[in-house]
Amino acid sequence: MRNFICLVLVLLAACGGQIENIALGTLERERIAHTATANEVVVALPVMQGSKVKKGDLLVKLDDTLQKALLGKASAEVAQAEANLEKLRNGARVEDVAAASAKVAGARAALIETETNFVRLINLKKQKVISEADLDRGLASRDASIAGLQNAQEELLKLTNGTREEDLRIAEARLDAVIAILASEVKKLADLSILATRDGILDNLPWNLGERVTTGSPLAIVLAGKAPFARIYVPEPYRVKIKVGDQLIVHIDGLEKPIVGNLRWISAEPAFTPYYALNQDERSRLVYLAEVQLPDSEAHLPNGVPVQVELP
């Protein structure tokens, strides 16, 4: 609304011809809106509105109970993945290898016994003491012993050959994934403490202590920078006479002495109405939004004060 009033004043001045080579506006600072990243309760407001803040100062703190629990879970998953990867890299324990070797020895002894028994059955069959079925059972027992020995030997090889390369890569990828999740949870926890990102003045705290904020809503508004800048509207006839970097004289309501500022930005487009839709007389009423930076020595000046800037 304040900018709109300034624009109306400029247009009226251009129409009436009462004000020449003057651009009207107000003192402003860059507004930094710190927004909420979670739907949590405000538990601390350590800085009062209107106070000066430094970069890194705590402005608002949200309840972090739930996020700390999620962070603990992510930390546990990282520890689990690290232990699993270390287990795969170390391979089988000495006790497991010894147990597998004992199974191989037992299977070999069982095979010797069944082979001896099978040879005895063959001799008995030649003497027609036993039936064909008894011989078949002896053969089946011997074959089962052979298979048992092969199985025990393969189990021993599985332990002594170590972990497959593919399993190691899977475990490493899993560890990388949970580490990334942990980093994300750490960032979410840090975001629950709203810190000033620039030096400035804490202009507004929209939420009260104890309120549950909505995600994406502004929690703290900081007016950044030391000295304010004058946001002015430059009449169209003076647009070609100024450029970024020019020094301009700024008159501020309430101050007797003018201040010299530097033009830091000026819009390339006129406000509201395109110039090609107007005739020559109407084009002179166009205005261009511009910003004139005041020196740091004027850091005490408040926002919203009307200003007049002399144009060349």
Please report whether residue 32 resides in a domain: yes
Give the pLDDT score at 8: 47
Any idea what the CATH number is for the domain that residue 268 is in? 2.40.30.170
Give the pLDDT score at 9: 46
Domain shared by 79 and 179, yes or no: yes
C-alpha span between 281 and 63 (Å, rounded):
60
Domain shared by 110 and 136, yes or no: yes
Residue among 267, 244, 248 at smallest CA distance from 258: 248
Residue among 35, 39, 41, 36 at smallest CA distance from 62: 41
Helix (H, G, I), strand (E, B) or coil at 202: strand
Give the pLDDT score at 19: 53
Please report whether residue 190 resides in a domain: no
Domain shared by 203 and 301, yes or no: yes
Residue after which a domain boundary falls, among 138, 155, 183:
183
Domain shared by 120 and 177, yes or no: yes
Q: Other C-beta atoms within 10 Å of 219: how many?
A: 21
Residue-range definition of the domain harbouring residue 125 = 69-183
Residue after which a domain boundary falls, among 183, 210, 227:
183
Please report whether residue 241 resides in a domain: yes
Residue after which a domain boundary falls, among 183, 214, 241:
183
Query: Structure tokens of 293?
Result: 């930076």
Please report whether residue 28 resides in a domain: yes
- For the stretch 267-307, pLDDT in tens is 988 876 555 445 555 656 788 999 999 999 998 899 999 99
Residue among 190, 195, 224 at smallest CA distance from 47: 195
Q: What is the domain count for the chain?
A: 2
Query: Structure tokens of 130?
Result: 């036993």
Give the pLDDT score at 282: 60
Residue among 95, 92, 106, 105 at smallest CA distance from 157: 92
Domain shared by 294 and 213, yes or no: yes
Residue among 178, 179, 223 at smallest CA distance from 200: 223
Give the pLDDT score at 272: 63
Give the pLDDT score at 10: 45
pLDDT beneath 70, residues of the chain: 1-20, 159, 162, 272-284
Give the pLDDT score at 67: 97
Please report whether residue 52 resides in a domain: yes
- For the stretch 68-98, pLDDT in tens is 999 999 999 999 999 999 988 887 777 877 7
Domain shared by 149 and 47, yes or no: no
